[in-house]
């Protein structure tokens, strides 16, 4: 990863690359990894420009456009909400019957902050609905929480609690079963809530980034999400 960035710098900020069919690295993935792990030089952005032919691309290290460096007006996540946005009322209703943990409540407050800020900007905000392949509503849980429409284009917003893998602690019954029937072993791992929230925006290319993590209340400002 570091070598790839060094090659771009040595090439004057524009490195032309060619990826042959089914061979060679995914330059888009390399760029995403460089951004994710903070390998891009400070004050620069790293992007991939596709070439005229399949497999041709240019990795570009350049200054960010002016609009990306403008200080954003903070949009804080409220500690309490006396009245939720109408779209959030439906989202919360869809969650009825599920464990109403403090983390879930915080997720709803994050969505509320996003929804009210979008509505104030004149964007159309609605609770997501699940549809079948024919466009008809279904009773299944939507794959995301909000639909936000800007100039006719709809983006999706979701707040989820990821899981993490932990070693399975077998019960006494599982141990007896495994000892008696060796071909039916107990699972090696369990997947449990990770204790954090992931905010994700879909429906188009990410402008600054597409996902944010809220760990122990670390996401206090949702301005960049907009």
Residue 143's pLDDT band (cuts 50, 70, 90): confident
Q: What's the chain's average pLDDT? A: 84
HSE-up of 34 (CA within 13 Å, CB side)?
A: 25
Q: Helix crossing, 102-120 with 86-94: angle to 10°?
A: 150
**Which residues are CB-neighbours of 190 under 8 A, at least 6 positions away?**
165, 166, 167, 168, 169
In the predicted model, what is the mean pLDDT of residues 13-23? 77
Residue 167's pLDDT band (cuts 50, 70, 90): very high
Tally the residues of the chain.
Answer: 226
Give this prediction's pTM.
Answer: 0.70
Give the residue among 168, 171, 166, 224 at the shortest CA–CA distance from 195: 166
* % of the chain surpassing 90 pLDDT: 24
Which pLDDT score is estimated for 65? 82
Q: Domain residue spans in the chain? A: 2-69, 86-161+196-225
The 10 Å CB-count burial string (b at 16+, else e) for 67-89 is eeeeeeeebebeeeeeebbebbe
In the predicted model, what is the mean pLDDT of residues 177-195? 85
Query: Are residues 183 and 133 in contact, defined by beta-carbon separation less than 8 angstroms?
Result: no
- Distance separating alpha carbons of residues 222 and 200, to the nearest angstrom: 12
In the predicted model, what is the mean pLDDT of residues 2-23? 79
Highest-confidence range of 29-33, 119-123, 213-217, by mean pLDDT?
119-123
Asked if pLDDT for residue 205 goes beyond 90, the answer is no
Residue 159's pLDDT band (cuts 50, 70, 90): very high
């Amino acid at each position: 990863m570091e070598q790839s960035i060094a090659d771009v710098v040595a090439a004057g900020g524009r490195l032309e690359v060619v990826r042959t069919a089914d061979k060679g690295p995914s330059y888009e993935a390399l760029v995403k990894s460089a951004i994710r792990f903070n390998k891009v030089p400070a004050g620069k952005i790293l992007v991939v420009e596709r070439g005229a032919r399949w497999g041709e691309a240019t990795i570009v290290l350049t200054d960010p456009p002016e609009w990306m460096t403008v200080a954003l007006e903070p949009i804080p996540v409220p500690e309490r909400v006396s009245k939720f946005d109408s779209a959030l009322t439906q989202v919360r209703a869809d969650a009825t019957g599920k464990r109403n943990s403090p983390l879930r409540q915080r997720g709803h407050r994050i969505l509320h902050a996003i929804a009210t800020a979008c509505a104030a900007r004149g964007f159309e905000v609605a609770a997501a609905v699940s549809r079948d392949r024919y466009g008809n509503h279904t009773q299944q849980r939507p794959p995301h929480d909000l639909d936000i429409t800007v100039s006719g284009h709809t983006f999706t917003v979701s707040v989820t609690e990821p899981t993490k893998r932990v070693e399975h602690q077998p019960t006494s019954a599982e141990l007896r079963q495994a000892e008696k029937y060796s071909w039916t072993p107990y699972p090696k791992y369990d997947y449990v809530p990770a204790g954090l929230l992931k905010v994700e925006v879909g429906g188009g290319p990410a402008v600054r980034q597409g996902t944010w993590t809220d760990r122990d209340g670390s996401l206090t400002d949702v301005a960049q999400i907009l």
